[in-house]
């Protein structure tokens, strides 16, 4: 029980330390924020797909490609590349007339109608299970809490990186302004030396 409270206290302390203003002289001595793998973060954020959800129906082109793939493999047994089959199928599809495409479009429309029926049934089932409560929730409260802590930690890291970059930018800007003022002062002094 105590270990859980310690970890929360530790994250609060880290949060406070990350949000404290830092003296510019200490910027070089601070440790860099740990890098977060963006691809891994995106994968974690994506919702898991429901295996019971019906698959989307193929378009007329993909219905055609199913049949074309069989004939292409028979005619060209040596060609193993999927890209070659797709390329040849695309060229053949473009060369077909509307009358030749009609049977494939009819099959696609039929599959789409079946898909819509299945989706309606699936949606009704989802709504009925949603009314019963949060039993359909895939994540437990501890997992949700962990996700929230990770996102807070990520934001803190981003904030610290931003503040370091902003301080460096401000320092460069101040240095540039000081250099221009020094140059202007030198010009004024040189002007008075030559005229006086």
Classify burial at 89, counting beta carbons within 10 Å of its beta carbon; exposed 0-12, middle 13-18, buried 19 or more: buried
Query: What are the pLDDT digits (tens) for 117-134?
Result: 999 999 988 888 876 654
Q: Which helix (H) or strand (E) holds 86?
A: helix 82-95
The more confident residue out of 130 and 167 is 167
Query: What are the pLDDT digits (tens) for 142-160?
Result: 565 667 777 778 878 888 8
Domain ranges of the chain: 14-48+138-196, 50-137
Going by pLDDT thresholds of 50, 70 and 90, the confidence category of residue 136 is: very low
Q: Is the pLDDT of residue 46 over 80?
A: no
Q: Specify whether the CB–CB gap between 95 and 61 falls below 8 A.
A: no
Average model confidence (pLDDT) across the chain = 78
Using the CB atoms, write b or e for 156-183: b if 16+ within 10 Å: bbeebeebeeeeeeeeeeeeeeeeeeee
Does domain 50-137 sit in CATH 1.10.30.10? yes
């Amino acid at each position: 029980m105590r270990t859980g409270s310690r970890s929360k206290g530790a994250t609060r302390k880290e949060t406070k330390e990350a949000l404290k203003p830092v003296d510019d002289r200490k910027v070089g001595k601070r440790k860099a924020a740990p890098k977060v793998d963006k691809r891994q973060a995106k994968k974690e954020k994506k919702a898991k797909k429901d295996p019971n959800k019906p698959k989307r129906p193929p378009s007329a082109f993909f219905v055609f490609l199913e049949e074309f793939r069989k004939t292409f493999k028979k005619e060209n047994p040596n060609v193993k590349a999927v890209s070659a089959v797709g390329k040849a199928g695309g060229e053949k599809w473009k060369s077909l007339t509307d009358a030749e495409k009609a049977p494939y479009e009819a099959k696609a429309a039929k599959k789409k109608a079946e898909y819509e029926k299945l989706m309606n049934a699936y949606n009704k089932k989802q709504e009925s299970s949603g009314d019963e409560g949060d039993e359909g929730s895939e994540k437990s409260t501890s997992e949700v809490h962990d996700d929230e802590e990770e996102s807070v930690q990520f934001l803190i890291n981003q904030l610290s990186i931003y503040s370091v970059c902003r301080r460096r930018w401000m320092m460069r800007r101040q240095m540039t302004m000081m250099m221009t003022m020094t140059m202007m002062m030198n010009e004024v002094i040189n002007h008075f030396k030559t005229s006086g």
